[in-house]
Structure 1
């Protein structure tokens, strides 16, 4: 139940951050709502499509679309105050990343898939929405160039899967993974922890 509540909060938070990105690109209200839905629900949609898990999450629960659009329009109304809410959004995004990862792992576990696919399922659920947002905004996806993000999803997925395999209580595993994954992501933001970058600036002739 707690996981479900955090999931809805994370969906709304992702939609609001997407609305801000849409505003920076001067999109109309329809574009804002579309980008919000793609960002908040894109990871789950991609996961379900790749795994053949139907109906899609937002098809089975259409109210998710209303949450996304409502959060996006709410963001438009309160845009002038959003600068002051930067850290709350970053913290909610960090929490949402771990929760989305856990939910993605659960879907693959229910389908009886291999450990690698379970972890990939969590990764896709956690990061693809943000990738789609940045692509639609014509930006290099932040997950490829910013602080540790995908790594946090992978670590969270590994801990969740093997925690269950070791026979630990499910609720304890969920809380433990959320605490560890959330702390790692926040540490990455504060300390600017990044994966090594590949830089090649010579032209091929």
Structure 2
């Protein structure tokens, strides 16, 4: 129940961030809702297809689509207020990233996959929605440029796996511990601007 509530909060926050991105590129309402949907459930959908996890999450729970569309339309009405709540959205975005990563890890774990695929599932679920959003908005995905993002998903999934596999922690307790640690890590990465080394090549082009 707790994870379901947090998941709804997560997709709502991601839907709003997607809607704001669409607004910066002056998209119509269909474009706003489409980008919101891609951002909120795109990663999970790609994961489900790659891992053969059917039905897709939003197909099994179509009310998620309604929640995302309502959140995106609401964003168009209160965009000026939301832009002043940057700190809140950074927190919600961090919450969404970690929560989606945990859900992705759990999906792969339930399917009896090993560590590598569990981490891969977490990363796909956590970051691919944002990648799709940025691709459709014709910009370099932020996950490739900003503070630790995919790295947080990897660390989150690793911690989740270790707690359950090696320490025998119950799924709910492991989820809560991982959620707290992951969100703190992401916020610290934002605050201290911690990221991976950047490759900057400006050689002569023939």
TM-score range, shorter chain: over 0.9
- 1:57 — aligned with what? 57
C-alpha displacement of 1:204: 4.0
The normalised TM-score by structure 1 is 0.98
C-alpha displacement of 1:60: 0.9
C-alpha displacement of 1:92: 0.4
- 1:186 — aligned with what? 187
Q: SS where residue 143 of structure 1 aligns?
A: helix
- 1:164 — aligned with what? 164
Deviates more, 1:168-177 or 1:155-164: 168-177
Alpha-carbon distance in structure 2 between the residues aligned to 1:75 and 1:170:
34
- 2:99 — aligned with what? 99
- 1:130 — aligned with what? 130
Q: SS where residue 78 of structure 1 aligns?
A: helix
C-alpha displacement of 1:80: 1.6
Q: 2:40 aligned with 1:40, yes or no?
A: yes
Which runs of 5 or more structure 1 residues have no equivalent in the other structure? Answer: none
C-alpha displacement of 1:168: 1.7
C-alpha displacement of 1:169: 2.8
C-alpha displacement of 1:113: 1.2
C-alpha displacement of 1:199: 1.1
Which runs of 5 or more structure 2 residues have no equivalent in the other structure? Answer: none
Q: Deviations over 1:63-115 (max 9, x none)?
A: 11101100000101111211211111110010111110110011111111121
When the two structures are aligned, how many residues end up with a matched partner?
205
Q: 2:108 aligned with 1:108, yes or no?
A: yes
Alpha-carbon distance in structure 2 between the residues aligned to 1:28 and 1:37:
14
C-alpha displacement of 1:173: 1.3
C-alpha displacement of 1:160: 0.2
Structure 2 matches for 1:71-90, cutoff 5 A? Answer: 71-90=71-90
